[in-house]
Chains A and B, each alone.
Chain A
Amino acid sequence: MNFKMKALVAGVVLGFSMSGMAAEPIKIGVSGPFTGGSAPMGVSMRDGVRLAVSEINAKGGVLGRKIELVERDDEAKNERGVQVAQELINKERVVATVGYINTGVALASQRFYQQAKIPVMNNVATGSIVTKQFANQPENYIFRNSANDTIQSAMIVEEAIGRRGFKKPAILADSTNYGQLGREDLEKVLDKKGVKPVVVEKYNIGDVDMTAQLLRAKQAGADVVLTYGIGPELAQIANGMQKLGWKVPIVGSWTLAMANFIDNAGKNGDGTRMPQTFIQNPDTPKRKAFIDAYVKAYNPPGGRMPSAVSAAQGYDSVYLLAAAIQQAGSTEGPKIAAALEDLKTPVEGVVTTYNKPYTHTDHEAINFENTKFGEVKDGRVVQAK
């Protein structure tokens, strides 16, 4: 090989490696439960995230770089979430992470991101304190685009007590962080309205018999059941009520829209109401495109998204993050966080159009205006009238 040839080869190799450097993908972590009782939410969230990423990459990516997802199953377990967080930060070197379905997992895991100055977009977990865990620190790297429990509990109480005029609510919440923090929120709002729940009952994940809890509620003369839990056990509540021949309306947190509640409760779930940021209803062109793309890509049974809210919020979280990275012109955590707190251009999502969604002190993108009521009807969630 003569010198010219060598120079040519070296030049080509160098050129390739440099272009390779320039187009190195931006790594974004995805952490959520893809197995277990929370899986319909986790998988839908992940699928929404994937859709958004493939759209963004098809248009050339962000800062001229493609987005690469690093997905990990946190199994809805706190300890697993912590492992995932450390792996994503230290080994995968993600620039940001989207996800967290379970409030407990979010609270246990996001401290590592806070320390590493890497932003987290909570796109499903709703516990009120999720974004306030580090609110006393000068910089807070925890953002959210789901309807938190302060909003949801207020809406649940307004619907049950304010609008429909029930006076004796019973609260049934599961024993997880999610259920118990939500129960506290519900009790606070009820207290402000001067209403005291007639009973407050607890149950465990995996319980197959709710007779005792429901009998206590029935005996106390409850006229509405307010719930905080996830799909399978919520279905046991609805089915248990039928077993006892006791029929009062159920109003509860958004998880009543999960496919594993709707399917397992069957007709016992009809009429159940819950706050929703997104309902599978193609009422705008953007939403129609999203729903069509989702159904086409993942082909859910019966064309019904297993957890439409999670998918939509997952989808939007990526667009919010991409907008911030674009604006920051950088993938450094502090710059992305600063850009998120001051987004110059509105971001059009499927839940809503985010116009300056975050400020330095407010890390919640969703408010009362973009949350509505859904109702279970014939195996689907529709807009409540």
Chain B
Amino acid sequence: MEILLQLVVSGIALGMIYAVIAFGYQLTFATSGTLNFGQGEALMLGALVGLSLVGTIHGGPYLGYWLMIPIVVAFGALQGVFVEWIAVRPAIRIKSEFGWIMSTIALAIIFKNVAENIWGKDVLPFPSPLSSEPFTVLGANVQPMQVAVIVGALAIMFAVEIFNRKSIYGKAVVATANDRDAAGLMGINTGMVITFSYALSSATAAFAGALIAPLTLTSATMGASLGLKAFAVAIIGGLTSGMGAIVGGIILGIAETATGFYLSTGYKEVPGLVLLLLVLAVKPSGLFGKAAIKKV
């Protein structure tokens, strides 16, 4: 029982990382029907920019951990605007169905290369703001930072949801998400809303990067595999549901740790991907997704 609990706790902490990134995918998909395949790189850049501020690598530390977070979030937002401007807007303007796929992947590779040149290719430790001593809950060991990841991830997702439901700007986002053309006719600047959703999506990823970096390690290559797993989570949970990201992330995280323990660590990644295939076969819109009606 203790073992199972331990696996679940570690799985949830891992899954919440996937969930925040998956949430970022959903934000842009909802408003523009496009995804940023560089979402993992947005996370990586957030973590590395954070490291430059709080670590000892570029003559720092310049700031405390908690002061660094808003700067990283602002950086992430700018980075998202940049991605939308360079890679997505041209594709939307010419009504290209798939141009944004290649251009966001291209930008992701460019970001990774730039990061490798600024921060090097080595893996760097990230100073932890909280004690790394674990405490025990019902026999399972939990690190304070793992709790911070879970709480932080949930907090940012709820903040975005509340913003979308309560504020007038959020309503513009929701309107654009429901029907971009109608929203445009109603006087909503949908182009602005899409840019904003990209800013928000990269900001959440950058925040996630700064949050998880003390647990994982930081490097220019950290984004690639996390971004891919999170994409699987977004598909499993459904690209239109915030709840889906959380549940999908937790499912994948627990599936990975549990398979590693009960079956074999060599097959750790398999069940998540099998689940992905199953969802695609049985309920293509995802566990929580709304079926999309494609107008021809």
Contact = CB atoms under 8 A, between A and B. Distances in A.
Interface of A: 35-37, 39-40, 175, 201-203, 206, 208-209, 211-213, 215-216, 219, 231-232, 235-236, 239, 242-245, 260, 263-264, 266
Contacts of A211: 6-7, 10, 257, 260-261
A128 to B, nearest CB: 23
B123 A37 contact: yes
Contacts of B116: 35
A39 B122 contact: yes
B3 interface: yes
Contacts of B134: 242-245
A39 B261 CA distance: 31
Contacts of A232: 123, 217, 219
For B10, B136, B215, B222, which residue has the most chain A Cβ atoms within 10 angstroms?
A: B10
Contact of B260 (A212, A235, A245, A260): A212
Contacts of A208: 14, 215-217, 222
A236 B124 CA distance: 12
Contacts of A260: 122-123
A111 to B, nearest CB: 28
Contacts of B258: 212
Contacts of A236: 217
A373 B229 CA distance: 40
A22 B260 CA distance: 63
A240 to B, nearest CB: 9
Contacts of B41: none
A264 B143 contact: no
Given A216-B261, A235-B217, A266 B125 contact: yes
B41 to A, nearest CB: 15
Contacts of B52: none
A264 B217 contact: yes
Contacts of A39: 121-122
B269 to A, nearest CB: 8
Given A212-B258, A243-B132, 12 more contacts: A35-B116, A208-B217, A209-B256, A209-B257, A211-B7, A211-B10, A212-B260, A215-B3, A219-B3, A260-B123, A264-B124, A264-B217
Nearest to A175: B266
24 contacts: A37-B123, A203-B265, A206-B221, A208-B14, A208-B215, A208-B222, A211-B10, A211-B257, A212-B7, A212-B257, A212-B258, A213-B265, A216-B260, A232-B123, A235-B217, A236-B217, A243-B141, A244-B6, A244-B141, A245-B134, A245-B136, A260-B122, A263-B124, A264-B125
A2 to B, nearest CB: 59
A39 B123 CA distance: 10
A194 B18 CA distance: 44
Contacts of A216: 260-261, 265
Contacts of A213: 260, 265
Contacts of A35: 116, 121
**Can you list the 4 inter-chain pairs with the closest CB atoms, starting with the nearest?**
A212-B260, A211-B10, A208-B216, A232-B123
Contacts of A264: 123-125, 217
For B10, B123, B124, B259, which residue has the most chain A Cβ atoms within 10 angstroms?
A: B123
A266 B261 CA distance: 26
Nearest to B269: A204
B14 A202 contact: no
Contact of B225 (A206, A242, A243): A206
Contact of A215 (B6, B122, B133): B6
B283 interface: no
A207 to B, nearest CB: 8
B89 interface: no
Nearest to A209: B14
Interface string B1-22: 0010011001000100000000
Given A202-B266, A208-B216, A260-B122, A215 B221 contact: no
Contacts of B215: 208
B123 A231 contact: yes
Given A206-B221, A235-B217, A212 B125 contact: no
Nearest to B264: A202
Contacts of A219: 3
A40 B7 contact: no
A206 B132 CA distance: 21
